[in-house]
Amino acid sequence: MDECDDEEGEFLADNQGETGPHVQDEAHQPNIDKPEDHMMKLLAFMLLTWQSTFKISDNAITSLLLCLKHFMFIIGNVLCADSLTAFANNIPKTLFTLRKWTGILRDNFLQYVVCPKCMSIYPHAETYETRRDGTKVCKTCDRKPFYNHPHKRSALGKKCGSALLRKVVSSSGKQYVNPIRSYCFNGVVRSLGGLVKRPGFAEKCEAWRKRKIPGGVLADIYDGQVWQDYQYVNGEAFLAVPNNFALMLNVDWFQPFKDAPYSVGAIYLVILNLPREDRFKEENMILVGLIPGPKEPSLNINAFLDPLVEELQALWDGIILEDSSFIGHQVYRAALLCLSSDIPATRKCGGFVGHGAYRGCHKCLKTFSKKAFGEKMDYSGFDRSSWEPRSSQGHIH
């Protein structure tokens, strides 16, 4: 373990919710005491409202802030207007600081430290220790990838040992420690708490009960067998009663940078109780987590799903949430009904091998083969009557 100074350890303890280095890009903090502070707050509200209304990207707003800052500063110097120059100095350089002026902070994620080698995740408090003299000691990854290996003393049975933190120098010259990789997790319970407080949200979630669909017509998920099976689970009413949500999980990867081989994964939930026209709106979906890159995890996605599983287990038992009802709070429950992703992501989340494997089918145990080394998989021989279907018990095993 590596020693860290007090300031580095305090950074970890005081900034668990932040997703980047704690860099003070402006010395002036919003205190709203001077006229230029009131002007800056008004400008911040206008820019954020404009961004939300017209779906402007964060990078565009950041570039606009820098242009405004330099333009106002030059005009202030040319006109010898000290108030204009002071206002230019107040204009922030980052979108995070711009939101601080308005009190609108969207950085509510819980940040986990990710091992860059084995992709294990750790809470911030578990990545360092405090000695008696007040110094901080940075830990390394203690996970054993093959903890059941018979040769535990060999390299296969040893701990990962990768560094979890690295030193970062801010613009002011101070040194801090920052996670090498971070996993941003958004609590499902907290997100549902924000949704049920909206006026009319509960009514939209119950509108599906009044649908009138002709018999034999499958118009939405409400008409499917899975939805019908979840009306009552083990003799107990679930979807048959209000305040119980059915969730759909989606996992996908995307490239945030142009022409760069870097993939970031997004885990998000959709509330199926909502009407189809409202179900996939941005304000109604729950972004659960952001899986760090630069590559997609092949065998370690469970580490990123563990916090979600814990919250889903709590929601299955029921949690009291404040809402917009007359009572002010009610018991809400939720269950995960389906996984909707592309084939590679679905296989990873469901625990199956990829579709290019020898047993690449998720419904049966049909074995495909290659005619020669280096050639593509041979998918011929479609005799479904001879294919042994997979079972739920076998998959769980």
Please, what are the averages of pLDDT over each run of 10 residues along the chain (397 residues)? 47 40 41 68 88 85 91 89 84 85 73 89 86 78 71 65 81 78 92 92 92 87 92 90 94 84 92 94 92 83 92 94 88 93 86 80 83 75 83 83
Q: Is 114 helix (H, G, I), strand (E, B) or coil?
A: strand
- Residue 30's pLDDT is what? 52
pTM: 0.72
Q: Are the CB atoms for 267 and 304 separated by under 8 Å?
A: yes
- Residue 284's pLDDT is what? 93
- Residue 137's pLDDT is what? 78
Q: Are the CB atoms for 295 and 263 separated by under 8 Å?
A: yes
Alpha helices in the chain (DSSP H): 6-14, 35-54, 58-78, 82-90, 95-102, 188-196, 201-205, 225-229, 276-279, 302-317, 343-350, 392-396
Sign of the CA dihedral with 175 first, then 179, 180, and 182 last: negative
Q: Are the CB atoms for 315 and 193 separated by under 8 Å?
A: no
Q: Which of 166, 190, 157 is nearest to 115 (CA)?
A: 166
Integer-rounded Cα Rg, in Å, for the chain is 26
Tokens of 361: 């089918």
Q: Is 133 helix (H, G, I), strand (E, B) or coil?
A: coil
Token pair 């679905």 is found at 346
Q: Are the CB atoms for 349 and 339 separated by under 8 Å?
A: yes
Cis upstream peptide for 294 (omega within 30°): yes
How many of the other CB atoms lie within 10 Å of CB of 223? Answer: 14
* Domain range list for the chain: 35-93, 108-183, 186-351, 353-397
